């Protein structure tokens, strides 16, 4: 008969046999569906013989073979020739001969091979299936590695051989007895017992991949993380850190998810000899450690709250042990709400300053700083109202204290004329009240401070215009757009009694040239009358490539204005030129250049260049930064810095990466260099990395670090157990 002859429910129904025989057969919980090129049935013996592309299914299990014999009375299946058993979990069992019973859940197999769900393979001389959930194999080998296409008989990169292997699908474990690991066919490790999760497991307690190497601060080091699953919603990782120059440190991480949010924390602890400023060990023992935490929780559909906390026992511990390179740690509880066009957030801040020259008593403590923002619906002419409110309480143990209440009301409306030019009119009123203590004002002698109430009322209006001209030229489109704005407000607006706490990080660039207030915070306002103008341009290709540019400048009508400091680029009536150029002609090049040029001689006062170039197999990224000392005052000197990174895909499996950061100013030099190689295929990862840091801070000196990581995939990602 041709394939396509089906005998559905043949065994259970007993259509060809007498009722007595049907009553004597063992009951089957699942009907059998059989398909083959030829089928014969012996009614007296209750045997079905199928041959030629046989497919027999019972429940979720399917057997494929050249020839299958089914014993109706004993409910057994015997399969010969190119046998395949498809398991419900996705595994496939191959064999030359297979005998199955009890709904194909029990049986014996000869010349067994198993293909797991992630394409890992197990081969064995023979095996036994038990209950449909357990497979016992003898003289077996496991490997997730692909065989060499040119020489399939060659040993894979790594494999595990064992006298006995058990795959338990209930516990999702693969267990080995008398096992040894081979790499390229050479034995490298033996253990009497070994187990690891099968590919269906995503989380499991056990050892994770260790790191080992050498650090000039710590000596030889080894990190051996152990992962604990504590339920579907939480887990923990404990990592002992063994070093030869210091005592053992213990790091830990805990994570948990809730129905309303998530929480995670990590920390470390060690007890070591105290070190002097020259790095030499002293006789006294001290405790060193850190604790970081983070939480995010929903209150309802509008509000949520959260926190970020950070603590360390001393200034150099985090950098010395490689936990963090931050020099200021931020503790920040907050609550925020989102509803429609309204946003509210209240924060508290405590900063732990780790810099050597910073007095912690002079670091501000903020509790609270609260903001409310509202954007109204567009009115009949497209205008909309905006409301911004702010409350701040800032205190220091030593130094200036500031309490602020701020309210700003604004309105803005766009308009497009029949000629195609676009106008926008905006107006705002900002009112601020301050209660301050110990403020050093410019009008009083050094060391003399003021306290008390102060404030300001600051109205401002801006009219902005732009006129885009577009030209289509074949496969490209060109755009030229002149832009101008007139800003009007009262002169001054920054009484000396108002301390500058949130507007110190001022930077004049192309991003804030057309802002009504070019300061980043509320303590300073950008007063006076000025004209701002610039030119946008760009070329856009149909293939996605583009090149754009912008250049602009501002002119202040009042000549004497001390709002901005010398070197800011805004102290004179005519400002410096600011702009940017971006070129992305295709997928292999992305170039960005941002600049500030002195208005007098067009000399650069700030240059930023960023570039990413090359195909995926050879990708290079570069950034260059330069600014003069006068740009941000005398606190910092002139800075010139270069950063280069690259990645080369040498082969399908090998890649090389390197980074270098360098201070280009006189007396500067290298800041940090790193290089590494990575081998990665479907079953194995080898990662070697070298880094050198030229940073010095008290007992932390220039550091060379070499780290290695070996990952045998499917063994160390979710945990393993060794006995």
Residue 651 has pLDDT above 80, yes or no: yes
Q: What is the mean pLDDT of residues 672-689?
A: 94
Structure tokens, 279: 């790095």
Q: How confident is residue 160, by pLDDT bands cut at 50, 70 and 90?
A: very high
pLDDT number for residue 27 = 42
Find the distance separating the first CA and the last CA of the chain, reported in whole Å. 57
Model pTM? Answer: 0.83
Task: State the pLDDT at residue 331.
Answer: 98
**DSSP string computed for 61-72:** EEEEEEEEEEET
For residues 257 and 235, what is the distance between their CA atoms, to the nearest angstrom?
A: 10
- Tell me the pLDDT of the chain averaged across its residues: 88
Return the higher-pLDDT residue of 17 and 479.
479
Alpha-carbon Rg for the chain in angstroms: 36
- Give the mean pLDDT of 582-606: 92
Q: What confidence tier does 630 reach under pLDDT thresholds 50, 70, 90?
A: low
pLDDT 10s digits, 393-417: 999 999 999 999 999 999 999 999 9
Q: Which of 172-176, 517-521, 579-583 has the highest mean pLDDT?
A: 579-583
- β-pair partners for 336: 304, 345
The pLDDT value recorded for residue 234 is: 94
Instruction: Choose among 41, 51, 49, 53: nearest CA to 17.
Output: 41
Going by pLDDT thresholds of 50, 70 and 90, the confidence category of residue 656 is very high
Q: Is 135 helix (H, G, I), strand (E, B) or coil?
A: strand
| Exposed e or buried b per residue across 500-513, where buried means at least 16 C-beta atoms within 10 angstroms of its C-beta | ebbbeebebbbebb
Predicted confidence at residue 564, as pLDDT, reads: 85
CATH superfamily of 5-201: Lipopolysaccharide (LPS) transport protein A like domain (2.60.450.10)
Q: How many CA atoms lie within 13 A of 20 on its CB side?
A: 1
Q: Judge whether residue 19 has pLDDT over 50.
A: no
Q: How far apart are CA 492 and CA 558, in angstroms?
A: 11
- Report the percent of the chain where pLDDT is more than 90: 57
Confidence of residue 295 (pLDDT cuts 50, 70, 90): very high
Residue 642's SS3 state is strand
Give the CA angle between residues 350, 292, 347 to the nearest 5°.
35
Q: Quick one: pLDDT at residue 629?
A: 63
Mean pLDDT of 442-465: 87
Lowest mean pLDDT among 6-15, 142-151, 518-527, 562-571: 6-15
CB distance 227 to 235 below 8 Å: yes
The pLDDT tens digits of the residues spanning 308-321 come to 999 999 999 999 99
Is the pLDDT at 634 greater than 50, yes or no? no
Q: What is the band of 7 on the pLDDT scale with cuts at 50, 70, 90?
A: very low
- The Cα–Cα gap between 275 and 217 comes to 12
The 8 Å CB, 24+ separation contacts for 670-673 are 670/694, 671/641, 671/695
Domain residue spans in the chain? 5-201, 411-586
Band of residue 278 on the pLDDT scale cut at 50, 70, 90: low
Give the confidence band of 11 by pLDDT, cuts at 50, 70, 90.
very low
Are the C-beta atoms of 432 and 460 separated by less than 8 Å? no
How confident is the model at residue 447, as a pLDDT? Answer: 66
Query: Does the pLDDT value for residue 583 go beyond 50?
Result: yes
pLDDT digits (tens, 9 = 90+) for 108-135: 988 889 898 888 899 999 989 888 788 8
Q: Where residue 721 falls among pLDDT bands split at 50, 70, 90? A: very low
> Quick one: pLDDT at residue 680?
93
Contact 611, 591 (CB under 8 A): yes
């Amino acid at each position: 008969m041709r394939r396509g002859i089906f005998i559905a429910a043949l065994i259970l129904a007993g259509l060809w046999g007498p009722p007595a025989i049907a009553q004597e057969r063992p009951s089957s919980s699942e009907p059998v569906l059989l398909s083959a090129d030829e089928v014969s049935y012996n009614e007296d013996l209750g045997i079905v013989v199928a041959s030629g592309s046989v497919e027999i299914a019972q429940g979720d299990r399917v057997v494929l073979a050249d020839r299958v014999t089914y014993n109706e009375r004993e409910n057994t299946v015997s399969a010969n020739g190119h046998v395949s058993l498809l398991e419900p979990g996705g595994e496939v069992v191959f064999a030359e001969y297979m005998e199955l019973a009890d709904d194909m859940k029990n049986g014996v197999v000869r010349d067994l091979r198993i293909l797991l769900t992630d394409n890992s393979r197990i081969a064995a001389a023979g095996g036994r299936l038990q209950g449909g959930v357990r497979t016992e194999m003898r003289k077996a080998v496991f490997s997730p590695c692909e065989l060499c296409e040119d020489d399939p008989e060659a040993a894979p990169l790594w494999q595990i051989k064992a006298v006995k292997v058990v795959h338990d699908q209930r516990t999702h474990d693969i267990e080995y007895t008398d096992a040894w690991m081979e790499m390229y066919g050479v034995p490298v490790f033996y253990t009497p017992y070994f187990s690891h999760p099968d590919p269906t497991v995503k989380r499991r307690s056990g050892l994770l991949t260790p790191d080992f190497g050498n650090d000039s601060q710590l000596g030889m080091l080894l990190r051996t993380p152990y992962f604990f699953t504590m339920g579907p919603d939480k887990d923990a990782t404990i990592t002992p850190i063994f070093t030869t120059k210091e005592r053992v440190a213990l790091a830990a991480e805990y994570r948990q998810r809730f129905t309303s949010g998530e929480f995670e924390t990590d920390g470390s602890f060690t007890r070591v000899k105290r070190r002097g400023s020259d790095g030499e060990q002293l006789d006294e023992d001290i405790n060193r450690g850190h604790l970081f935490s983070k939480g995010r929780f929903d209150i309802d559909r509008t509000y949520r709250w959260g926190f970020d906390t950070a603590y360390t026992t001393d200034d150099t511990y985090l950098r010395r042990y490689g936990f963090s390179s931050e020099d200021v740690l931020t503790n920040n509880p907050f609550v925020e709400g989102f509803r429609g066009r309204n946003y509210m957030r209240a924060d508290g801040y405590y900063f732990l300053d780790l810099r050597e020259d910073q007095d912690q008593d002079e670091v501000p403590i903020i509790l609270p700083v609260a903001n409310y923002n509202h954007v109204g619906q567009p009115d009949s002419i497209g205008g909309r109202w905006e409301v911004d409110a702010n409350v701040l309480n800032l205190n220091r143990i030593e130094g200036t204290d500031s309490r602020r209440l701020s309210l700003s009301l604004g309105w803005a409306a766009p308009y497009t004329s029949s000629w195609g030019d676009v106008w926008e009119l905006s107006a705002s009123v900002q009112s601020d009240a301050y209660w301050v203590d110990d403020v050093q004002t410019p009008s009083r002698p050094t060391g003399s401070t003021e306290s008390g109430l102060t404030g300001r009322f600051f109205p401002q209006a801006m009219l902005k215009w732009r006129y885009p001209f577009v030209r289509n030229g074949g496969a490209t489109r060109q755009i030229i757009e002149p832009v101008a704005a007139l800003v009007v407000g009262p002169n001054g607006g920054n009484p000396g009694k108002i301390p500058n706490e949130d507007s110190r990080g001022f930077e004049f660039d192309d991003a804030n040239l057309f802002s009504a207030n070019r300061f980043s915070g509320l303590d300073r306002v950008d007063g006076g009358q000025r004209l701002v103008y610039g030119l946008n341009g760009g070329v856009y290709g149909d293939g996605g490539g583009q090149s754009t540019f912008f250049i602009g400048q501002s002119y202040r009508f009042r000549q004497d204005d001390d709002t901005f400091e010398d070197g800011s680029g805004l102290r004179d009536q005519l400002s410096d030129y600011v702009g940017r150029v971006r070129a992305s002609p295709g997928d292999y090049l992305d170039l960005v250049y941002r600049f500030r040029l002195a208005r007098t001689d067009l000399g650069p006062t700030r240059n930023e260049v960023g570039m990413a170039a090359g195909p995926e197999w050879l990708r290079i990224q570069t950034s260059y930064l330069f600014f003069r000392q006068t740009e941000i005052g005398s606190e910092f000197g002139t800075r010139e810095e270069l950063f280069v990174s690259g990645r080369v895909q040498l082969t399908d499996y090998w890649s090389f990466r390197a980074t270098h950061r360098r201070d280009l100013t006189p007396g500067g030099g290298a800041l940090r260099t790193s290089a590494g190689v990575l081998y990665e295929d479907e079953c194995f990862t080898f990662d070697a990395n070298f880094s050198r840091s030229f940073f010095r801070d008290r007992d932390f000196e220039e550091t060379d670090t070499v780290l290695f990581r070996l990952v045998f995939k499917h063994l160390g990602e979710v945990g393993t157990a060794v006995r």
